[in-house]
Structure 1
Amino acid sequence: MDSYRELITEASKFLKDKGADSPFLDALLLMAYAAGDISKEKIITMYPATVPADTKAKFKEYIEKRARGIPVSYIRKRKEFYGLEFFVDESVLVPRPDTEVIVDYTLKLIRENPNLKRIHDVCTGSGCMAIAIKKNASHSIEMSVSDISQDALSVCKKNSLSILGHPLPAVVSDLLLSVNGKFDIIVSNPPYVTTEETSKIKQKGSPEPSLALDGGKDGLELIRKLVPQALELLSPGGYLIFEHHDAQAEESNKICREAGFKQVACLRDLAGRRRATVAQKPYEPD
Protein backbone atom coordinates (compact mmCIF):
# COMPACT_ATOMS: atom_id res chain seq x y z
CA MET A 1 0.00 0.00 0.00
CA ASP A 2 1.27 3.46 -0.87
CA SER A 3 1.34 6.32 1.63
CA TYR A 4 0.99 9.98 0.73
CA ARG A 5 4.68 10.47 1.48
CA GLU A 6 5.75 7.61 -0.80
CA LEU A 7 3.61 8.69 -3.75
CA ILE A 8 4.63 12.35 -3.50
CA THR A 9 8.32 11.43 -3.20
CA GLU A 10 8.10 9.09 -6.19
CA ALA A 11 6.20 11.64 -8.28
CA SER A 12 8.59 14.48 -7.45
CA LYS A 13 11.54 12.35 -8.62
CA PHE A 14 9.65 11.55 -11.83
CA LEU A 15 8.86 15.22 -12.48
CA LYS A 16 12.46 16.23 -11.75
CA ASP A 17 13.64 13.78 -14.40
CA LYS A 18 11.15 15.39 -16.80
CA GLY A 19 12.67 18.82 -16.17
CA ALA A 20 10.07 20.38 -13.86
CA ASP A 21 11.34 23.52 -12.09
CA SER A 22 9.65 22.73 -8.76
CA PRO A 23 8.93 18.99 -8.80
CA PHE A 24 8.22 18.52 -5.09
CA LEU A 25 5.85 21.50 -4.84
CA ASP A 26 4.10 20.42 -8.04
CA ALA A 27 3.59 16.92 -6.69
CA LEU A 28 2.39 18.22 -3.32
CA LEU A 29 -0.13 20.60 -4.88
CA LEU A 30 -1.45 17.96 -7.26
CA MET A 31 -1.87 15.44 -4.45
CA ALA A 32 -3.79 18.04 -2.44
CA TYR A 33 -6.00 18.62 -5.48
CA ALA A 34 -6.52 14.89 -6.06
CA ALA A 35 -7.39 14.37 -2.39
CA GLY A 36 -10.38 16.69 -2.59
CA ASP A 37 -8.81 20.07 -3.18
CA ILE A 38 -7.48 20.39 0.35
CA SER A 39 -4.49 22.44 1.50
CA LYS A 40 -0.93 21.25 0.97
CA GLU A 41 -0.39 21.71 4.71
CA LYS A 42 -3.16 19.20 5.37
CA ILE A 43 -1.54 16.72 3.01
CA ILE A 44 1.72 16.94 4.94
CA THR A 45 -0.09 15.94 8.14
CA MET A 46 -1.47 12.92 6.24
CA TYR A 47 1.95 11.67 5.06
CA PRO A 48 1.87 8.28 6.87
CA ALA A 49 -1.68 7.42 5.77
CA THR A 50 -2.53 5.15 2.85
CA VAL A 51 -3.81 6.91 -0.23
CA PRO A 52 -7.32 5.77 -1.33
CA ALA A 53 -7.50 4.13 -4.75
CA ASP A 54 -9.56 6.89 -6.36
CA THR A 55 -7.22 9.61 -5.09
CA LYS A 56 -4.22 7.63 -6.30
CA ALA A 57 -5.74 7.30 -9.78
CA LYS A 58 -6.45 11.04 -10.00
CA PHE A 59 -2.97 11.86 -8.74
CA LYS A 60 -1.38 9.62 -11.39
CA GLU A 61 -3.45 11.33 -14.09
CA TYR A 62 -2.42 14.80 -12.90
CA ILE A 63 1.27 13.87 -12.64
CA GLU A 64 1.22 12.51 -16.19
CA LYS A 65 -0.29 15.78 -17.42
CA ARG A 66 2.35 17.77 -15.56
CA ALA A 67 5.09 15.59 -17.07
CA ARG A 68 3.76 16.49 -20.54
CA GLY A 69 4.32 20.16 -19.77
CA ILE A 70 0.85 21.18 -18.66
CA PRO A 71 1.20 23.77 -15.87
CA VAL A 72 -0.13 22.91 -12.43
CA SER A 73 -2.36 25.98 -12.68
CA TYR A 74 -4.15 24.58 -15.73
CA ILE A 75 -4.61 21.20 -14.06
CA ARG A 76 -6.04 22.80 -10.91
CA LYS A 77 -7.81 25.53 -12.93
CA ARG A 78 -6.55 28.31 -10.70
CA LYS A 79 -3.56 30.51 -9.94
CA GLU A 80 -2.82 33.01 -7.20
CA PHE A 81 -1.89 36.53 -8.26
CA TYR A 82 -1.46 39.54 -5.98
CA GLY A 83 -2.94 37.58 -3.09
CA LEU A 84 -6.09 36.73 -5.06
CA GLU A 85 -7.14 33.41 -6.56
CA PHE A 86 -7.93 33.44 -10.28
CA PHE A 87 -9.60 30.84 -12.47
CA VAL A 88 -7.43 29.96 -15.49
CA ASP A 89 -7.77 27.67 -18.48
CA GLU A 90 -5.98 27.16 -21.78
CA SER A 91 -7.52 30.31 -23.32
CA VAL A 92 -5.39 32.61 -21.13
CA LEU A 93 -1.82 32.89 -19.91
CA VAL A 94 -1.11 31.72 -16.39
CA PRO A 95 -0.60 34.90 -14.28
CA ARG A 96 3.01 35.34 -13.24
CA PRO A 97 4.61 37.24 -10.34
CA ASP A 98 6.60 39.42 -12.80
CA THR A 99 3.37 41.18 -13.75
CA GLU A 100 2.69 42.30 -10.18
CA VAL A 101 5.18 45.16 -10.62
CA ILE A 102 2.64 46.86 -12.90
CA VAL A 103 -0.11 46.48 -10.31
CA ASP A 104 2.18 47.90 -7.62
CA TYR A 105 3.09 50.94 -9.69
CA THR A 106 -0.47 51.62 -10.82
CA LEU A 107 -1.73 51.53 -7.23
CA LYS A 108 1.10 53.87 -6.24
CA LEU A 109 0.07 56.33 -8.95
CA ILE A 110 -3.58 56.41 -7.96
CA ARG A 111 -2.74 56.72 -4.27
CA GLU A 112 -0.63 59.76 -5.04
CA ASN A 113 -3.16 61.28 -7.46
CA PRO A 114 -6.86 60.48 -6.80
CA ASN A 115 -7.74 62.15 -10.12
CA LEU A 116 -6.34 59.14 -11.96
CA LYS A 117 -9.63 57.24 -12.07
CA ARG A 118 -10.17 55.91 -15.59
CA ILE A 119 -8.01 52.83 -16.15
CA HIS A 120 -8.01 50.35 -19.02
CA ASP A 121 -6.29 46.95 -19.25
CA VAL A 122 -5.56 45.90 -22.85
CA CYS A 123 -4.72 42.22 -23.58
CA THR A 124 -6.32 41.50 -20.22
CA GLY A 125 -6.40 37.69 -20.49
CA SER A 126 -7.56 36.31 -17.15
CA GLY A 127 -8.15 39.87 -15.95
CA CYS A 128 -5.57 39.47 -13.19
CA MET A 129 -4.09 42.97 -13.46
CA ALA A 130 -7.37 44.81 -13.85
CA ILE A 131 -9.08 42.92 -11.04
CA ALA A 132 -6.11 43.25 -8.66
CA ILE A 133 -5.95 47.01 -9.31
CA LYS A 134 -9.70 47.44 -8.86
CA LYS A 135 -9.75 45.29 -5.70
CA ASN A 136 -6.86 47.14 -4.06
CA ALA A 137 -7.50 50.72 -5.20
CA SER A 138 -7.62 53.22 -2.35
CA HIS A 139 -10.60 55.02 -3.90
CA SER A 140 -13.27 54.42 -6.52
CA ILE A 141 -11.89 53.94 -10.03
CA GLU A 142 -13.42 53.17 -13.42
CA MET A 143 -11.76 49.99 -14.68
CA SER A 144 -12.37 48.48 -18.12
CA VAL A 145 -10.74 45.67 -20.10
CA SER A 146 -10.24 44.47 -23.66
CA ASP A 147 -8.77 41.45 -25.42
CA ILE A 148 -8.73 40.09 -28.95
CA SER A 149 -10.04 36.76 -27.61
CA GLN A 150 -13.67 36.38 -26.58
CA ASP A 151 -12.72 33.22 -24.68
CA ALA A 152 -10.21 35.23 -22.65
CA LEU A 153 -12.85 37.84 -21.85
CA SER A 154 -15.15 35.05 -20.65
CA VAL A 155 -12.44 33.96 -18.20
CA CYS A 156 -11.98 37.59 -17.13
CA LYS A 157 -15.73 37.92 -16.51
CA LYS A 158 -15.73 34.74 -14.42
CA ASN A 159 -12.89 36.12 -12.29
CA SER A 160 -14.49 39.57 -12.02
CA LEU A 161 -17.71 38.05 -10.71
CA SER A 162 -15.98 35.80 -8.19
CA ILE A 163 -13.52 38.40 -6.85
CA LEU A 164 -15.25 41.76 -7.35
CA GLY A 165 -18.86 40.63 -7.37
CA HIS A 166 -19.57 42.28 -10.73
CA PRO A 167 -18.22 42.13 -14.30
CA LEU A 168 -15.87 44.77 -15.63
CA PRO A 169 -16.82 46.67 -18.80
CA ALA A 170 -15.21 44.67 -21.60
CA VAL A 171 -14.80 44.82 -25.36
CA VAL A 172 -13.31 42.47 -27.94
CA SER A 173 -10.53 44.45 -29.60
CA ASP A 174 -7.31 44.01 -31.53
CA LEU A 175 -5.18 45.97 -29.06
CA LEU A 176 -6.98 49.34 -28.73
CA LEU A 177 -8.55 49.61 -32.19
CA SER A 178 -12.12 49.01 -30.96
CA VAL A 179 -11.75 50.72 -27.57
CA ASN A 180 -13.47 54.07 -27.10
CA GLY A 181 -12.98 56.74 -24.47
CA LYS A 182 -10.20 58.60 -22.73
CA PHE A 183 -8.14 57.04 -19.98
CA ASP A 184 -5.83 58.24 -17.24
CA ILE A 185 -3.86 54.98 -17.17
CA ILE A 186 -3.56 52.16 -19.68
CA VAL A 187 -1.89 48.94 -18.52
CA SER A 188 -0.98 45.90 -20.59
CA ASN A 189 0.81 42.59 -20.61
CA PRO A 190 0.94 42.23 -24.41
CA PRO A 191 2.43 39.29 -26.32
CA TYR A 192 6.20 39.92 -26.40
CA VAL A 193 7.77 36.49 -26.94
CA THR A 194 9.50 36.12 -30.31
CA THR A 195 7.85 33.92 -32.92
CA GLU A 196 10.83 31.56 -32.83
CA GLU A 197 10.68 31.19 -29.05
CA THR A 198 6.89 30.79 -29.14
CA SER A 199 7.35 27.90 -31.56
CA LYS A 200 9.85 26.26 -29.21
CA ILE A 201 7.50 26.70 -26.26
CA LYS A 202 4.64 25.08 -28.15
CA GLN A 203 6.87 22.23 -29.36
CA LYS A 204 7.61 21.41 -25.72
CA GLY A 205 3.89 20.85 -25.20
CA SER A 206 2.87 24.08 -23.49
CA PRO A 207 -0.90 24.64 -23.80
CA GLU A 208 -0.65 28.41 -23.27
CA PRO A 209 -2.24 30.21 -26.24
CA SER A 210 0.15 31.36 -28.97
CA LEU A 211 -2.10 34.39 -29.42
CA ALA A 212 -1.06 35.60 -25.97
CA LEU A 213 2.64 34.83 -26.46
CA ASP A 214 3.73 35.62 -30.02
CA GLY A 215 4.98 39.17 -30.39
CA GLY A 216 6.49 38.72 -33.84
CA LYS A 217 10.04 38.31 -35.09
CA ASP A 218 11.67 40.36 -32.31
CA GLY A 219 8.79 40.18 -29.84
CA LEU A 220 8.03 43.89 -30.16
CA GLU A 221 5.63 44.02 -33.12
CA LEU A 222 2.51 44.41 -30.98
CA ILE A 223 4.21 46.86 -28.63
CA ARG A 224 5.06 49.04 -31.64
CA LYS A 225 1.34 49.11 -32.50
CA LEU A 226 0.11 49.50 -28.92
CA VAL A 227 2.22 52.51 -27.95
CA PRO A 228 0.88 55.07 -30.49
CA GLN A 229 -2.67 53.75 -30.02
CA ALA A 230 -2.37 54.30 -26.27
CA LEU A 231 -1.03 57.81 -26.77
CA GLU A 232 -4.22 58.70 -28.65
CA LEU A 233 -6.53 57.36 -25.94
CA LEU A 234 -4.70 58.77 -22.91
CA SER A 235 -5.66 62.04 -21.29
CA PRO A 236 -2.91 64.68 -21.06
CA GLY A 237 -0.55 63.55 -18.30
CA GLY A 238 -1.87 59.99 -18.54
CA TYR A 239 0.30 56.89 -18.18
CA LEU A 240 0.96 53.81 -20.29
CA ILE A 241 2.47 50.89 -18.37
CA PHE A 242 3.29 47.65 -20.19
CA GLU A 243 5.28 44.50 -19.57
CA HIS A 244 8.21 43.23 -21.63
CA HIS A 245 11.36 41.14 -21.33
CA ASP A 246 14.39 42.65 -19.64
CA ALA A 247 16.31 42.49 -22.94
CA GLN A 248 13.55 44.53 -24.63
CA ALA A 249 13.67 47.40 -22.14
CA GLU A 250 15.83 49.85 -24.08
CA GLU A 251 13.97 49.35 -27.35
CA SER A 252 10.61 49.63 -25.56
CA ASN A 253 11.70 52.95 -24.07
CA LYS A 254 12.83 54.13 -27.51
CA ILE A 255 9.46 53.17 -29.07
CA CYS A 256 7.67 55.28 -26.45
CA ARG A 257 9.87 58.33 -26.95
CA GLU A 258 9.57 58.17 -30.73
CA ALA A 259 5.78 57.95 -30.45
CA GLY A 260 5.64 61.18 -28.43
CA PHE A 261 5.79 60.15 -24.79
CA LYS A 262 8.12 62.41 -22.78
CA GLN A 263 8.59 60.83 -19.35
CA VAL A 264 9.74 57.25 -19.93
CA ALA A 265 11.27 54.88 -17.40
CA CYS A 266 11.71 51.19 -16.59
CA LEU A 267 10.11 49.35 -13.70
CA ARG A 268 12.24 46.64 -12.09
CA ASP A 269 11.08 43.47 -10.39
CA LEU A 270 12.46 42.15 -7.10
CA ALA A 271 15.37 40.56 -8.96
CA GLY A 272 16.31 43.89 -10.53
CA ARG A 273 15.16 42.95 -14.02
CA ARG A 274 13.55 45.64 -16.19
CA ARG A 275 10.14 44.02 -16.51
CA ALA A 276 7.97 46.95 -17.58
CA THR A 277 8.03 50.44 -19.08
CA VAL A 278 6.04 53.40 -17.78
CA ALA A 279 5.53 56.35 -20.15
CA GLN A 280 3.65 59.59 -19.46
CA LYS A 281 1.80 61.52 -22.12
CA PRO A 282 2.78 65.23 -22.24
CA TYR A 283 0.29 67.71 -20.79
CA GLU A 284 0.75 70.01 -23.75
CA PRO A 285 1.45 69.05 -27.39
CA ASP A 286 4.77 70.09 -28.89
Structure 2
Amino acid sequence: MPRMKDKVTLVTGAARGIGAAIARAYVDEGATVWLTDLDEDAGRRLAQSIGPAARFQRLDVRSEAAWEAVMAAILAAHGRLDVLVNNAGITGLEAGHVAHDPEHAALEDWRAVHETNLDGVFLGCKHAIRAMRPAGAGAIVNMSSRSGMVGIPAAAAYASSKAAIRNHTKTVALYCAGQGLAIRCNSIHPAAVLTPMWEPMLGEGPERDARMAAIVADTPLRRFGAPQEVAAIAVLLGSDEAAYVTGSEITIDGGILAGAAGTPRPVEE
Protein backbone atom coordinates (compact mmCIF):
# COMPACT_ATOMS: atom_id res chain seq x y z
CA MET A 1 0.00 0.00 0.00
CA PRO A 2 1.33 3.51 -0.79
CA ARG A 3 2.74 5.10 2.35
CA MET A 4 0.62 8.27 2.06
CA LYS A 5 -2.53 6.84 0.54
CA ASP A 6 -5.42 9.33 0.50
CA LYS A 7 -3.58 11.97 2.58
CA VAL A 8 -4.36 15.60 1.77
CA THR A 9 -1.09 17.53 1.75
CA LEU A 10 0.21 21.06 1.22
CA VAL A 11 3.80 21.86 0.18
CA THR A 12 5.07 25.45 0.12
CA GLY A 13 7.89 26.58 -2.13
CA ALA A 14 7.00 23.65 -4.36
CA ALA A 15 7.78 25.04 -7.82
CA ARG A 16 11.37 23.76 -7.85
CA GLY A 17 14.14 22.08 -5.91
CA ILE A 18 13.34 20.21 -2.72
CA GLY A 19 9.71 21.35 -2.68
CA ALA A 20 9.11 19.97 -6.16
CA ALA A 21 10.77 16.68 -5.23
CA ILE A 22 8.57 16.37 -2.13
CA ALA A 23 5.42 17.08 -4.14
CA ARG A 24 6.30 14.36 -6.65
CA ALA A 25 7.19 11.89 -3.91
CA TYR A 26 3.94 12.52 -2.05
CA VAL A 27 1.86 11.90 -5.16
CA ASP A 28 3.89 8.76 -5.93
CA GLU A 29 2.99 7.55 -2.43
CA GLY A 30 -0.74 8.08 -2.93
CA ALA A 31 -1.30 11.61 -1.59
CA THR A 32 -3.22 14.53 -3.01
CA VAL A 33 -0.86 17.50 -3.10
CA TRP A 34 -1.53 21.21 -3.16
CA LEU A 35 1.60 22.85 -4.54
CA THR A 36 2.09 26.49 -3.58
CA ASP A 37 4.67 29.06 -4.59
CA LEU A 38 5.06 32.66 -5.75
CA ASP A 39 6.27 31.40 -9.14
CA GLU A 40 2.90 30.71 -10.74
CA ASP A 41 4.18 29.61 -14.16
CA ALA A 42 6.62 27.04 -12.80
CA GLY A 43 4.14 25.87 -10.16
CA ARG A 44 1.36 25.29 -12.66
CA ARG A 45 3.69 23.49 -15.08
CA LEU A 46 4.86 21.19 -12.32
CA ALA A 47 1.34 20.41 -11.15
CA GLN A 48 0.32 19.57 -14.71
CA SER A 49 3.34 17.32 -15.18
CA ILE A 50 2.61 15.44 -11.94
CA GLY A 51 -0.99 14.73 -12.85
CA PRO A 52 -4.53 15.01 -11.45
CA ALA A 53 -3.47 14.35 -7.85
CA ALA A 54 -1.59 17.67 -7.84
CA ARG A 55 -2.98 21.17 -8.05
CA PHE A 56 -1.32 24.55 -7.79
CA GLN A 57 -2.33 27.66 -5.87
CA ARG A 58 -0.30 30.81 -5.46
CA LEU A 59 0.74 31.46 -1.86
CA ASP A 60 2.81 34.25 -0.38
CA VAL A 61 3.83 32.61 2.90
CA ARG A 62 4.44 36.06 4.43
CA SER A 63 0.72 36.91 4.24
CA GLU A 64 -1.70 35.63 6.85
CA ALA A 65 -4.64 36.41 4.56
CA ALA A 66 -3.04 34.24 1.86
CA TRP A 67 -2.65 31.36 4.31
CA GLU A 68 -6.28 31.68 5.36
CA ALA A 69 -7.40 31.59 1.73
CA VAL A 70 -5.36 28.48 0.89
CA MET A 71 -6.53 26.62 3.98
CA ALA A 72 -10.14 27.55 3.25
CA ALA A 73 -9.79 26.22 -0.30
CA ILE A 74 -8.29 22.93 0.91
CA LEU A 75 -10.95 22.43 3.56
CA ALA A 76 -13.70 23.26 1.07
CA ALA A 77 -12.33 20.71 -1.40
CA HIS A 78 -11.38 17.89 1.00
CA GLY A 79 -12.72 18.66 4.44
CA ARG A 80 -9.33 18.23 6.08
CA LEU A 81 -5.56 18.73 5.88
CA ASP A 82 -3.33 15.81 6.83
CA VAL A 83 0.20 17.05 6.13
CA LEU A 84 1.86 20.45 5.76
CA VAL A 85 5.43 20.84 4.53
CA ASN A 86 6.78 24.33 5.27
CA ASN A 87 9.49 24.34 2.62
CA ALA A 88 9.40 27.88 1.19
CA GLY A 89 12.54 29.82 1.99
CA ILE A 90 15.15 32.25 0.70
CA THR A 91 18.82 32.85 1.46
CA GLY A 92 18.56 36.59 0.85
CA LEU A 93 21.41 36.28 -1.65
CA GLU A 94 19.23 35.38 -4.65
CA ALA A 95 19.33 38.72 -6.47
CA GLY A 96 23.06 39.21 -6.24
CA HIS A 97 22.87 40.76 -2.79
CA VAL A 98 26.05 41.02 -0.79
CA ALA A 99 26.79 38.54 1.96
CA HIS A 100 24.80 39.00 5.16
CA ASP A 101 27.56 39.17 7.73
CA PRO A 102 26.73 40.27 11.29
CA GLU A 103 28.48 43.62 10.89
CA HIS A 104 27.26 44.80 7.50
CA ALA A 105 23.88 43.15 6.90
CA ALA A 106 21.17 45.73 6.24
CA LEU A 107 18.22 45.63 8.61
CA GLU A 108 15.80 45.46 5.69
CA ASP A 109 17.63 42.42 4.27
CA TRP A 110 17.66 40.76 7.69
CA ARG A 111 13.92 41.31 8.04
CA ALA A 112 13.16 40.13 4.51
CA VAL A 113 14.83 36.76 5.12
CA HIS A 114 13.07 36.27 8.44
CA GLU A 115 9.73 37.35 7.01
CA THR A 116 9.79 34.55 4.45
CA ASN A 117 11.67 31.85 6.33
CA LEU A 118 10.43 32.32 9.88
CA ASP A 119 7.15 34.23 9.65
CA GLY A 120 6.11 31.89 6.85
CA VAL A 121 6.73 28.83 9.01
CA PHE A 122 4.97 30.41 11.99
CA LEU A 123 1.88 31.18 9.90
CA GLY A 124 1.92 27.76 8.28
CA CYS A 125 2.07 25.99 11.63
CA LYS A 126 -0.61 28.24 13.10
CA HIS A 127 -3.14 27.62 10.36
CA ALA A 128 -2.25 23.96 9.90
CA ILE A 129 -2.97 23.29 13.58
CA ARG A 130 -6.36 24.96 13.20
CA ALA A 131 -7.12 22.95 10.03
CA MET A 132 -6.01 19.68 11.63
CA ARG A 133 -7.65 20.20 15.02
CA PRO A 134 -11.10 18.81 14.07
CA ALA A 135 -9.52 15.45 13.16
CA GLY A 136 -7.11 15.69 16.08
CA ALA A 137 -4.20 14.43 13.99
CA GLY A 138 -1.77 15.45 11.30
CA ALA A 139 1.87 16.06 10.48
CA ILE A 140 3.83 19.27 10.02
CA VAL A 141 7.28 19.09 8.44
CA ASN A 142 9.41 22.23 8.68
CA MET A 143 12.41 22.68 6.42
CA SER A 144 15.31 24.03 8.42
CA SER A 145 18.96 23.58 7.44
CA ARG A 146 22.37 22.62 8.68
CA SER A 147 22.77 26.39 8.80
CA GLY A 148 20.27 26.40 11.65
CA MET A 149 22.64 24.27 13.73
CA VAL A 150 25.97 26.07 13.17
CA GLY A 151 27.08 29.63 12.56
CA ILE A 152 27.31 30.92 8.97
CA PRO A 153 29.29 34.21 8.94
CA ALA A 154 28.36 35.16 5.37
CA ALA A 155 24.67 34.31 5.76
CA ALA A 156 23.77 35.53 9.23
CA ALA A 157 20.11 36.21 8.47
CA TYR A 158 19.58 32.82 6.83
CA ALA A 159 21.31 30.96 9.66
CA SER A 160 19.31 32.85 12.29
CA SER A 161 16.00 32.14 10.56
CA LYS A 162 16.76 28.44 10.19
CA ALA A 163 17.82 28.15 13.84
CA ALA A 164 14.52 29.72 14.87
CA ILE A 165 12.62 27.21 12.72
CA ARG A 166 14.42 24.40 14.54
CA ASN A 167 13.28 25.70 17.91
CA HIS A 168 9.75 26.64 16.84
CA THR A 169 9.28 23.10 15.55
CA LYS A 170 9.87 21.76 19.04
CA THR A 171 7.53 24.34 20.53
CA VAL A 172 4.76 23.36 18.12
CA ALA A 173 5.32 19.67 18.87
CA LEU A 174 5.02 20.22 22.61
CA TYR A 175 2.02 22.53 22.25
CA CYS A 176 0.07 20.03 20.16
CA ALA A 177 0.90 17.16 22.50
CA GLY A 178 -0.16 19.29 25.45
CA GLN A 179 -3.45 19.97 23.70
CA GLY A 180 -4.08 16.25 23.41
CA LEU A 181 -3.66 16.41 19.63
CA ALA A 182 -1.86 13.79 17.57
CA ILE A 183 -0.42 16.55 15.40
CA ARG A 184 3.28 15.89 15.00
CA CYS A 185 5.85 18.53 14.09
CA ASN A 186 9.40 17.72 12.99
CA SER A 187 12.21 19.50 11.16
CA ILE A 188 14.54 18.47 8.35
CA HIS A 189 18.06 19.92 8.12
CA PRO A 190 19.60 19.54 4.67
CA ALA A 191 23.13 20.59 3.75
CA ALA A 192 25.07 20.36 0.48
CA VAL A 193 21.89 19.34 -1.35
CA LEU A 194 22.22 20.62 -4.91
CA THR A 195 19.19 22.80 -5.72
CA PRO A 196 18.64 26.10 -7.60
CA MET A 197 19.09 27.92 -4.27
CA TRP A 198 22.82 27.21 -4.53
CA GLU A 199 23.29 28.96 -7.87
CA PRO A 200 24.00 32.52 -6.58
CA MET A 201 26.58 31.16 -4.15
CA LEU A 202 28.39 28.87 -6.60
CA GLY A 203 29.00 31.40 -9.35
CA GLU A 204 29.91 30.36 -12.88
CA GLY A 205 32.74 28.79 -14.86
CA PRO A 206 35.97 27.73 -13.13
CA GLU A 207 34.94 29.51 -9.94
CA ARG A 208 31.81 27.35 -9.76
CA ASP A 209 33.78 24.16 -10.34
CA ALA A 210 36.29 25.08 -7.64
CA ARG A 211 33.59 25.86 -5.08
CA MET A 212 31.70 22.65 -5.83
CA ALA A 213 34.90 20.64 -5.50
CA ALA A 214 35.65 22.27 -2.14
CA ILE A 215 32.17 21.46 -0.80
CA VAL A 216 32.42 17.85 -1.95
CA ALA A 217 35.89 17.54 -0.40
CA ASP A 218 34.51 18.61 3.00
CA THR A 219 31.55 16.20 2.80
CA PRO A 220 32.34 12.74 4.21
CA LEU A 221 30.23 11.00 1.55
CA ARG A 222 32.16 12.97 -1.11
CA ARG A 223 29.15 14.16 -3.11
CA PHE A 224 26.22 16.55 -3.10
CA GLY A 225 22.87 15.29 -1.92
CA ALA A 226 19.85 15.17 -4.24
CA PRO A 227 16.42 16.73 -3.58
CA GLN A 228 14.89 13.25 -3.87
CA GLU A 229 16.90 12.16 -0.84
CA VAL A 230 15.35 14.94 1.23
CA ALA A 231 11.92 14.07 -0.16
CA ALA A 232 12.31 10.51 1.12
CA ILE A 233 12.61 11.82 4.68
CA ALA A 234 9.61 14.11 4.15
CA VAL A 235 7.61 11.03 3.10
CA LEU A 236 8.63 9.22 6.28
CA LEU A 237 7.72 12.16 8.54
CA GLY A 238 4.41 12.72 6.77
CA SER A 239 3.41 9.07 6.88
CA ASP A 240 1.85 7.04 9.69
CA GLU A 241 5.16 5.19 10.02
CA ALA A 242 6.41 8.16 12.04
CA ALA A 243 3.42 8.23 14.40
CA TYR A 244 5.72 8.33 17.47
CA VAL A 245 8.11 10.95 16.06
CA THR A 246 7.53 14.57 17.07
CA GLY A 247 9.78 17.46 18.04
CA SER A 248 12.64 15.71 16.28
CA GLU A 249 15.18 16.91 13.74
CA ILE A 250 16.73 14.87 10.94
CA THR A 251 19.97 16.04 9.35
CA ILE A 252 20.64 15.17 5.71
CA ASP A 253 24.19 16.35 5.09
CA GLY A 254 26.35 13.47 3.92
CA GLY A 255 27.98 13.30 7.36
CA ILE A 256 29.16 16.92 7.61
CA LEU A 257 27.92 17.45 11.17
CA ALA A 258 29.23 14.10 12.32
CA GLY A 259 32.66 15.67 12.63
CA ALA A 260 34.54 18.82 11.71
CA ALA A 261 35.93 20.23 8.49
CA GLY A 262 39.30 18.89 9.55
CA THR A 263 38.10 15.32 10.06
CA PRO A 264 40.92 13.01 8.91
CA ARG A 265 40.36 11.34 5.58
CA PRO A 266 41.27 7.73 4.81
CA VAL A 267 44.92 7.26 3.96
CA GLU A 268 45.43 6.32 0.32
CA GLU A 269 47.74 3.37 -0.09
Structures share fold, TM-score greater than 0.5: no
- Which structure has more relative contact order (CA 8 Å, sep 6+)? It is 2
Structure number with bigger Rg: 1
- How does the TM-score come out when normalised to structure 2? 0.44
Q: Give me the TM-score of the superposition, normalised by structure 1.
A: 0.42
